[in-house]
Amino acid sequence: MNYSSVDIKEKFNLFAETWSPKIIGEMNDYYIKLVKIKDHFTWHRHEETDEVFIVYKGNMRIYFRDGSVDLCEGQMYIIPKNIEHKPYAEKECEMMLFEPKTTLNTGNVNDKFTKEKLDWI
């Protein structure tokens, strides 16, 4: 049995690219992911699952077709399944995600942001 902790700050220091989630753990049928974001993402929705955004460092906004929500360090927001949204960060923002293993980062959209295969770090 491995009784080593995961240093989240250290894991964030292992990569620089944005909009490319990295897996740091798994629990049941979920991956625990880290991602850095900056600028605009694509409009998308997840038809089969809710999505949780936990801001580790920085600030971000999640746009919806009828409004938006702002998040800062230490805050989280859960987007219900099938709700179209678009994340945005003016400056780099570090986030943690808990998602089913089958969740595609761009949900129902396949574009330049889509990551079919995620790396473990």
Domains of the chain: 26-101 (2.60.120.10)
**Res 106: pLDDT:** 74
Q: Using pLDDT thresholds of 50, 70 and 90, give the confidence band for residue 111.
A: confident
Q: What is the mean pLDDT of residues 81-107?
A: 93
Q: What is the mean pLDDT of residues 76-97?
A: 97
**Res 116: pLDDT:** 80
Statement: residue 86 has pLDDT above 90:
yes
Q: Are 53 and 33 in contact (CB under 8 A)?
A: no
Tokens 């780099």 belong to which residue?
92
Statement: residue 14 has pLDDT above 90:
yes
Q: Which amino acid is at 89?
A: A
Task: Tell me whether strands 51-57 and 76-79 are parallel, antiparallel or unpaired.
Answer: antiparallel
Statement: residue 37 has pLDDT above 80:
yes
The HSE-up count of residue 76 (CA atoms within 13 Å, CB side) is 8
Statement: residue 6 has pLDDT above 80:
yes
Q: What is the mean pLDDT of residues 47-62?
A: 96
Which residues fall within 8 angstroms of residue 93, CB to CB, at 6 or more apart?
A: 36, 37, 38, 55, 57, 58, 59, 60
% of the chain with per-residue pLDDT over 90: 84
